[in-house]
Structure formats: C-alpha cells, structure tokens
Amino acid sequence: MSTTPLSPKPRARIGVYVCHCGSNIAGVVDVKEVARWAGRELADEGVVIARDYQFMCSNLGQELIEADIKEQGLTRVVVAACSPHLHEATFRNACQRAGLNPYLCEMVSIREQVSWVHTDREQATAKAKALIAGGVERVAWHEPLEPVIVPINPTTLVVGGGIAGIQAALEIADSGYPVILVEREPSIGGHMAQFDKTFPTLDCAACILTPKMVAVGSHPLITLLTYSEVERVDGYVGSFQVTIRKKARYVNTETCTGCGLCIEKCPVRVVDEVFEAGLGYRKAIYRPFPQAVPKYPVIDTEHCTYFQRGKCKACQIFCPTQPKSIQFEQQDERIQVEVGNIILATGYDLFDCRRIPQYGYGRLANVYTSLEFERLCNAAGPTGGEVVLRDGVTKPKTVGIIHCVGSRDRNYNNYCSVICCMQSLKFAHLVKERTGAEVYNFYIDMRTPFKDYDEFYQKVLAEGVHFVRGRVAEVTDAARHPGEEGKIIIQVEDTLIGRQRRIPVDMVILSAALEPRRDAQEVAHKFGIACSTNGWFIEKHPKLDPVATMTEGIFIAGCAQGPKDIPATVAQGAAAAARVIGRIHQTRLALEPIRASVIAERCSGCRICNNLCPFHAISFREDLGVTEINPALCQGCGTCVAACPAGAITGTQFSNEQVFAQIEGLLMLDFSGKPVRRLEPLAAAAEPAFP
Amino acid sequence: MGESDRFEPLIIGFTCNWCSYRAADLAGVSRMKYPPNVRLIRLMCSGRLDPVFVLKALAGGADGVLITGCHPGECHYLEQNYKALRRYHLLRMLLTQLGVEPERVKLVWASAAEGGRFAEEVGRMVEDVRRLGRLNWPAVAADGTEPGDGQTPNAGHVHEAEPVVAAEAHQEEVTP
C-alpha cells in the first residue's frame, strides 16, 4: 500500500478524439455530444481540443490526430474508440509519426465497454463521458517511455526429444540456427518410437521416425543432450541462461562405437518399465531400443552388479575400444547454456489404469494398457509382434478394447484424449489381421475427425469388428454363466439396445487417457509458464496463438499443450520453430516498457516485496540496504508496486498517480452524467494514513 | 439518481489486462448486455491492485468495487492473483472495521474466454450493491443529498449506525 503524497498534476495539452466507428459506437452513444462535452467541461483538465470522427483508425482519422499534435502542440492524446487490444498500436504509431512519444496516448474503450453492451442512449452517453474523463485524468500522468529492446540469441533450446521436439529442432537447425535438444531418457524418439503402426495409414512408426532421429543425431547445428534434464532457467526472452544436468552414462561417448558388445555380455536382466512398458527385459547396461539415438548405452546403477556389489565389470572387460569406453567413475555434469528462445515439447504420461480398479488392470493378467499393446504388436517388441496372452504362446480368440479409460470421466479427466478412438480402431485392425480374433470395441462416442480417419473407421467396420456403445462397468474373471469360465468378462450396458451385456473375452486392451506429465506443474514453474486446470501447458491464445505462451520467448508444442495425434504434434513442432526462426531473424525484440523500479531513497529495506516476484526480478542489495529490481527480468505485473508500504516502488504505465487520477476521472460524473459534488478535497480522502 | 426512482449504484471495476479485460472485450464483441453502472480500469494484473485503489474509489463516490483476475493457476504472472486474493481478504476485514459493508467489494475470477460470466457478474454486482444502497462516504454527495440525510433508498434496511461509524473511522484516519 502506498502512502506517498501525490505530486501536483502535470500540465498537459490534451486532444480527445471520439470515434463513431460507423454506427458501432454512434448508434448507441451520442458521440457529437460526448466530444462537445469533453471540449467544454474538461478544458480545466487540460483538454484543448475534442473532435469526433467517423473512423478514427482510418488514415484520415490518424492524420487528424497527427495534424493536431503538430498544429495545436498537443502533449497528450486520448482516443475514445474500440479496445486498446485492437488499435492501441495504431494510435501510438500515429503519435510517433507526429513526433509525440507513443506512450503519451491513452485509449478509452467506448465500443466494447459501452456501445456494444449497453442499449440506453442516455446512460451509454453518460458512461462514455465518464470513461473519457478517466482517460483524460490518467493521460496527464503518462510519461514518455522507450520500448525495452532486447537482443535475441540465435541459439534455441528444445526440451523433449519426442516427435514434436525432433520436428522443431530440425526445422530450426535446417534454417541455419543452432539448437540444443535436451531429452530426459537415454534416447530421443519419445512415445512414437514405442508404437508399431500409426493410424490411419498404418505406416510403421519406426520407419518414419528413425530417419528423423538420425538426422537430429548427425545434424551439425544440433547439440543433442540425452539423459539430461533442465535444472534451472534464468534470464528472459533473447538471453536465457539454462543449467542442464547431464546424468552420468558411465560410458565415454567420445570413444564408444556403439557396438553393443557390453550389452550382450552384461549378466543382469531387468524388466524394462519404460520403453517396453514392463513387457520385456533389458540389461543393466542398455540402450532403450536398437535404433536409439545416440547409440551409446547407459548403465542403470540401481541394477548393475558392479555398482551394487563392487565387482563384475563384464562390460568394461569386454569393451573392444582402446581406451575402454566404460567409465565407472563418471559423474553427473552441470552444463550452462545461453539461448534466446525455448520450445517445450515435453509430451504426456499415460493414465495409470490401476486407478480404475474395476477394470482389473494389474490384477487380471490379460488386461493390457494401450502402450503395452503397442509393444506387444511391435515387430521389435518383446514377442516379436506376436499378439499373445501373458503366457507368451496362446493367441486370443476374443479381444475387448475399452475406449475412454480415464478420459471423458468426471472421476478422472473430463477431457477427451483425442487419439484413443483412432488408436482403438488401429488395435482392432491389428488384432484381426494378426490373430483373426473376434474384436469388441466399447465406446461412448466414436470420434474420428480429420483427414482419412472416418474412412479408416468404415474400413474397420467392414472388417467385422463389433462396436458396443456404452461405458464398461466392470472387467472381471468371476464367471456367472456357462461359457464364462476361464474368460475375462466385460460387463457393459449396451445403450443402443438398452440392455446389460456380459461379453467374455480372452484379452482386454484399455485405451488409456493421455495425461500431463507428472511433473508438468514443476516444469511450468521452472520456465515461467502456467498450466491449465487439467495440467496442460497454457498457450497464449487457444485459437490464434497456440504455440506461444504468455511468457515471451517460451513456446510449447505437442502433447504438453494438450492431447493430440502425430500430425498435429508435428505441425505444432514446426509452428513453434517458425515462431522462433522469425524472432531470430529480427535479431532484436521490442518489449512493452511496463516495468517496476525502486526509488532507492524511499526504500526502507523492509524486504516485504522480496519474495513477491515469481520472475526473480527483485533482489536485495545487502551493501546498500535497499531492494533493486532488474528491469530485464521484470514482467510488469505491478504486484510489488502495490505491496511497498513506503511507496518506494513505481510502475511505468500503471503508476499510483495514473490509477488514482483515472479513478477520480471515472467518478467525475454520476450514473446519469451529472457532475458529482465533492464535499472535501479528494486528495486528502485518498490518503488514509495506514501504519 | 436516474430518471426512475431506482437507485443506480456506481461501480468501479479493476480488470486484469490478460483475462478479465479481454472477457469484457469478448462480452462486447458478443453483444452481451450488462448494466452501465460499471466503469472499468485496466491493470496489468490483479496483483497490481493496491487496496488503496479500492478505498480511493469508495471515497471518491463509488458504491462498490469489482475486482477481477485470472482463475487460480492461470495467472499470466504465474501466481500474482493469489496475492490479490490475500489482499482482498484483508481488505474486507478493513472495510468491516471502517463500517463499510464488505459486500461492496467483490473479487471474481474470469478468464479471457468468459465474456458471459463477466457480464453476469457485473449484473449481479449491480443488483447486490443496489440492495445495499448508496455508500454515503462523506467525501461526495450526489446532487440534492447530504451524507446521512436519510434519503438513501434503503435507509431502513442498512444498519443505521454504520454510516456514522464509517464517517468517524474515516475522519480519524485522514487527520493524522
């Protein structure tokens, strides 16, 4: 709370321009009367000229303002028209052309806030006058400002090496700019590398993904940091300083040839919970899959005999390189990089199907998640692409595929996971193709938009796959009727015939929801962006700016922004890259000069503001005993300005004086437009002496 | 007062540049209707709202103040709306101590997509404040009325002692 006395109001020569916007404003507001009133009644407030015009934003309208600035010597301009979000830049530019600092212009929204939302002409006209009075009072306190110009470092950080990150990295690097790609796992590829086929074309996922992975691995402009995580982000658009922790691989990537002999010789077999989704094994020294990029293995110290018991070293002994590439003494490394822009493509996690116990996952052996099934039918997977039950030999005769597991469900996630319908159709096709089994799809609604998707649905229908409309109540092995013994029974209300059905099957596949990464909130915080209530990263505008975020210089792509299929993910990766390339081309960026600053003489060093800034812009100077604000980090929210008990922090464009003046102006007229009589000077009343 | 005898409250609205100001824009673009009793001030963030702004508005003739910000978890500046929330609760306590009905100040979350919600909240706020009656903060008087002259439309409804308490508390504070 500020208690500093207001300085005397600056003298200004103000021009007021009231726009008709055709009939958009003039149809409801008596604009001529408003302009006349402003010229007459606000003369004492500094208004020297007030005009109305058909379209202020037209060239002629702008020229009117420019001429007045030059001829009438205006020092401030108030334009009463549409929302500043539409035309603030237009009128600022007009001022600048006439030699007036653009920040000395204020827009008053009498279209969105008056004519479009009110109907009574008299009341609307009164409100328009009051809003203009607010603008006039406020603009007197405006100060000339210069935009904050920041240089753009041409290097870009891409976080996440799934298909979104890969696409973004390649687009930027192919344009000739350096990229640092950070991936948490030992290899890039993401979820797509785990898939067998992709809908609706049934392309082999590896066949279309691995060439891109190789391109990333060999691109001279891409620095690939796998098995690494971003620890800390400092700085701001144009110059972020990022600390990356490169986890120890225990393999010297300089000398390792990736021959794989160490993997072969390693005596420890571990269930692969990540890439094989728990269906297959890997060694204690491993690479997630044969086509991994980079090709160098990593040692899983939790399971490595040497790390656990101090002996073995089989991998090192058999390593054919000289010197040996296995380095047990390797330590985690911290790398500092400087980048100008950041693209977050951190992907999704699969819904944990154990959370719906009635579907039996984790209890009934032959209930699979969608990711497990992907591995099961992958030719490079644990069964070599054989669709078999957990015993490893029996082919299922009937398979049930349950849609919307954890999606479109108030108990778990309200949203639609977008890909599950198509993925389930793909599974149905693959099961039919590989086993000839009867396949039942249990769906709520079939959602097959986009190119060639519904055609694929028609094709699967024609293949004889059964579709049952209804949310599955239970998946159980408790047989009630003859014929159900030894089967898994799916209990469902078939809503198309209005009856309960029990369908015995051998295998169940749960099309699990896509969920935000478990640590999405933490990551969002690290990069200074926000998550929606569902946990996905929030884009700047859901329609018109889907890959930018509210934080300058941070872009998002792929499933981190929300569930989507591969084509949409690739498109977003490329879109984010295009935005970044555009920035790099500009070499520098002009930012709004809305910033807070500390008047050192007034700062008492109380440090109340010190922990209010989520952007770490506020720091305390121990040597001077005062707080400082780094203008480069400040985002201009003004929270510290509002908090300073000494009034020592000021905020440009939103100073106390500006807001106070605007309040006074807005309250100059009562509801019906009559001037309000003041009983005592407002300035005194506005300054309650808070302790 | 308007042409009818109905009391028309004046409400100052503080809006966040990123969410509720855009919600107000959207209400306009969608031609939604709400009563013209509210006059908006744009701030960059609800976190910028110095509680003094609210007191200043009430002292300057507003009968109510509407504060709007991004939904929790959606703040453009990550978490500053929580700070607005903290201050809001403190401010309500302060208003009670000053003898001002805390219902005259209301905090509402509205995202940029919620033009309808914004319009509804304005309508509700106007009705609520209309029911409370004129604030009668001693600094301002509408034409023809003196503060506490009993012409408030709901003089019987509001606790009689309150305006007096408000005046006293206020006097104490402005004369240090």
- pLDDT score for A541: 79
pLDDT in tens, A419-471: 999 999 999 999 999 999 999 999 999 999 999 999 999 999 999 999 999 99
Instruction: Please say if the pLDDT value at position A662 is more than 90.
Output: yes
Of A85, A126, A538, the CB nearest to B22: A85
Residue B34 contacts A, CB cutoff 8 Å: yes
Cβ pair B50:A594 closer than 8 A: no
- pLDDT score for B141: 59
Instruction: Please say if the pLDDT value at position A53 is more than 60.
Output: yes
Average pLDDT rounded to a whole number, residues A275-289: 94
Cβ pair B80:A533 closer than 8 A: no
Minimal-distance CA residue of chain A relative to B79: A614
pLDDT in tens, A323-366: 999 999 999 999 999 999 999 999 999 999 999 999 999 999 99
Mutate to test the interface with A, among B6, B33, B44 (most CBs of A within 10 A): B44
Average pLDDT rounded to a whole number, residues A296-323: 94
Instruction: Please say if the pLDDT value at position B28 is more than 90.
Output: yes
Cβ pair A680:B113 closer than 8 A: no
Minimal-distance CA residue of chain B relative to A651: B48
Percentage of residues in chain B having pLDDT higher than 70: 76
Residues 6 or more apart whose CB falls under 8 angstroms from that of A31 comprise A18, A19, A20, A25, A52, A128
Instruction: Please say if the pLDDT value at position B169 is more than 50.
Output: no
Instruction: Provide the token pair at B128.
Output: 């609520």
Contacts of A111 in chain B (CB under 8 A): 28
Residue B32 contacts A, CB cutoff 8 Å: yes
How far apart, in whole angstroms, are the C-alpha atoms of residue A238 and residue A254? 32
Of A119, A635, A671, the CB nearest to B37: A671
Query: Pick the residue with more confidence: B174 or A677?
Result: A677
Q: The pTM is what? A: 0.78
Q: Give backbone dihedrals phi and psi of A226, rounded to 5 degrees, phi first.
A: -90, 170
Instruction: Please say if the pLDDT value at position A288 is more than 50.
Output: yes
Percentage of residues in chain A having pLDDT higher than 70: 97
Cβ pair A686:B52 closer than 8 A: yes
- pLDDT score for B18: 87
Q: Which residues are A78's β-sheet partners?
A: A16, A106
Residue A168: pLDDT band with limits 50, 70, 90: very high
Minimal-distance CA residue of chain A relative to B80: A639
- pLDDT score for A234: 85
Instruction: Please say if the pLDDT value at position A180 is more than 70.
Output: yes
Contacts of B173 in chain A (CB under 8 A): 688-689
Cβ pair A635:B142 closer than 8 A: no
Instruction: Please say if the pLDDT value at position A7 is more than 80.
Output: no
Instruction: Provide the token pair at A340.
Output: 């100008």
- B51/chain A closest Cα distance in angstroms: 7
Query: Pick the residue with more confidence: B165 or A457?
Result: A457
How far apart, in whole angstroms, are the C-alpha atoms of residue A108 and residue A16? 10
Instruction: Provide the token pair at A106.
Output: 């204020």
Can you give the length of chain B in residues?
176
Residue B29 contacts A, CB cutoff 8 Å: yes
Query: Pick the residue with more confidence: B77 or A121?
Result: A121
pLDDT in tens, A232-254: 998 889 999 999 999 999 999 99
Residue B62 contacts A, CB cutoff 8 Å: yes
Angle between helices A31-41 and A121-139 (to 10 degrees): 40
Instruction: Please say if the pLDDT value at position A510 is more than 80.
Output: yes
Residue A525: pLDDT band with limits 50, 70, 90: confident
Q: What are the C-alpha distances in Å from A188 to residues A157, A162, A228, A345, A559?
A: 15, 6, 11, 12, 16
- pLDDT score for A452: 95
**What is the distance, to the nearest Å, from the Cα of residue A485 to the centroid of all Cα atoms in its chain?**
49
CB A244 within 8 A of CB A337: yes
How far apart, in whole angstroms, are the C-alpha atoms of residue A598 and residue A468? 66
Instruction: Please say if the pLDDT value at position B1 is more than 50.
Output: no
- B157/chain A closest Cα distance in angstroms: 22
Can you give the length of chain A in residues?
691
Could you write out the DSSP letters of every residue in chain B? --SSSS----EEEEEETTTHHHHHHHHHHTT----TTEEEEEES-GGG--HHHHHHHHHTT-SEEEEEEPPTT-BTTBSHHHHHHHHHHHHHHHHHHHT--GGGEEEEE--TT-HHHHHHHHHHHHHHHHHH-----TTEE-TT--TTSS-STTTTTS-THHHHHHHHHHHHHH--
Of B48, B73, B176, the CB nearest to A530: B73
CB A211 within 8 A of CB A168: no
Ramachandran region, residue B148 (left: φ > 0; alpha: ψ -120 to 50; beta: rest): left
Average pLDDT rounded to a whole number, residues A144-148: 92
Minimal-distance CA residue of chain A relative to B55: A686
Instruction: Please say if the pLDDT value at position A186 is more than 80.
Output: yes
Query: Pick the residue with more confidence: A73 or B165?
Result: A73
- pLDDT score for B75: 84
Residue B166: pLDDT band with limits 50, 70, 90: very low
Residue A151: pLDDT band with limits 50, 70, 90: very high
pLDDT in tens, A249-269: 999 999 999 999 999 999 999
Instruction: Please say if the pLDDT value at position B64 is more than 80.
Output: yes
Cβ pair A679:B79 closer than 8 A: no
Mutate to test the interface with A, among B67, B77, B105 (most CBs of A within 10 A): B77
Please give the biggest Cα pair distance in chain A.
Answer: 98
Residue A685: pLDDT band with limits 50, 70, 90: very low
Q: First vs last Cα of chain B: how many Å apart?
A: 34
Instruction: Please say if the pLDDT value at position A601 is more than 90.
Output: yes
Query: Pick the residue with more confidence: A246 or B142?
Result: A246
Number of Cβ atoms within 10 Å of the Cβ of A254: 9
Cβ pair A685:B22 closer than 8 A: no
Of A124, A127, A528, the CB nearest to B39: A127
Contacts of B10 in chain A (CB under 8 A): 667, 670-671
**DSSP H or E stretch at residue A432:** helix A420-435
- pLDDT score for A560: 97
Instruction: Please say if the pLDDT value at position A3 is more than 80.
Output: no
pLDDT in tens, B87-119: 999 999 999 999 999 999 999 999 887 899 999
- pLDDT score for A615: 84
Residue A119 contacts B, CB cutoff 8 Å: yes
Per the prediction, chain B carries an average pLDDT of 81
Residue B167 contacts A, CB cutoff 8 Å: no
Instruction: Please say if the pLDDT value at position B152 is more than 70.
Output: no
Residue B47 contacts A, CB cutoff 8 Å: yes
Cβ pair A126:B9 closer than 8 A: no
Q: Give backbone dihedrals phi and psi of A297, rounded to 5 degrees, phi first.
A: -75, 170
How far apart, in whole angstroms, are the C-alpha atoms of residue B159 and residue A156? 63
Instruction: Please say if the pLDDT value at position A677 is more than 90.
Output: no
- Chains A and B form CB pairs within 8 A to the count of 205
SS3 label, residue A470:
coil
Instruction: Provide the token pair at A46.
Output: 């500094």
**What is the distance, to the nearest Å, from the Cα of residue A386 to the centroid of all Cα atoms in its chain?**
39
Residue B72: pLDDT band with limits 50, 70, 90: confident
Average pLDDT rounded to a whole number, residues A480-503: 95
Residue A540 contacts B, CB cutoff 8 Å: no
Average pLDDT rounded to a whole number, residues A534-551: 86
How far apart, in whole angstroms, are the C-alpha atoms of residue A83 and residue B24? 9
Residue B149: pLDDT band with limits 50, 70, 90: very low
- pLDDT score for A9: 78
- A640/chain B closest Cα distance in angstroms: 8
Residue B176: pLDDT band with limits 50, 70, 90: very low
Instruction: Please say if the pLDDT value at position A139 is more than 60.
Output: yes
Q: Nearest CA to B46 among B113, B91, B94, B96?
A: B91
Please give the biggest Cα pair distance in chain B.
Answer: 49
